[in-house]
Chain A
Amino acid sequence: GQQLNQSPQSMFIQEGEDVSMNCTSSSIFNTWLWYKQDPGEGPVLLIALYKAGELTSNGRLTAQFGITRKDSFLNISASIPSDVGIYFCAGTGNQFYFGTGTSLTVIP
């Protein structure tokens, strides 16, 4: 299916720094999801958002469902080496869409 626009495509940050990535769509979504994929494994669901404006945290991760229902962001605070991986956004409108991914590298 169609893919969402996710940015940035890749990030190289120092351990301890905060990270921010976002996802945009041209159409309205009913849910926004954020996944993390480690090399050679399947994506793991991090956060699910169901309402416009909703702000949800999972440990050091915080995600928000944009009020326009066309975007979402994911923040990671105080990054650590094990945050390395590819982060995907996903959403459901008239079908399920997957983002293009943000590759995160954390430098110790």
Chain B
Amino acid sequence: GAVVSQHPSRVICKSGTSVKIECRSLDFQATTMFWYRQFPKQSLMLMATSNEGSKATYEQGVEKDKFLINHASLTLSTLTVTSAHPEDSSFYICSASRGIYQPQHFGDGTRLSIL
């Protein structure tokens, strides 16, 4: 199996709050984890790739100080949206794979709403 759990599924908070999203691979060791953002009716947009124990690689245009990623173990990666603002409202999805070229298995996503 390849089960990925993402938590929380939904967050509503005030502007200026920092929000942490967790992504766990439950039944396999995820060497690589990915974080995506998805706007309505659009494809997934890769934000960053993280390998266990090393710094994340961010895609062009993604602020690394805004979206902090930690991949401290082979089963857990976290995305922290710091000082969130309404324009950060979106659907964030993580995925995990056994290697960067292996199939990715996705979490159920987190709907973030900043008031």
**A contacts, CB < 8 Å to B:** 1, 3, 30-31, 33, 35, 40-45, 48, 88, 90, 92, 95-96, 98-101, 103
Contact = CB atoms under 8 A, between A and B. Distances in A.
A100 B43 CA distance: 5
Given A45-B103, A45-B106, A103-B41, 10 more contacts: A31-B103, A33-B103, A40-B91, A42-B95, A42-B108, A43-B44, A45-B2, A45-B104, A100-B43, A101-B42
Interface of B: 2, 4, 6, 34, 41-44, 46, 59, 91, 93, 95, 100-101, 103-109, 111
A99 B6 CA distance: 23
A92 B32 CA distance: 14
B104 A90 contact: yes
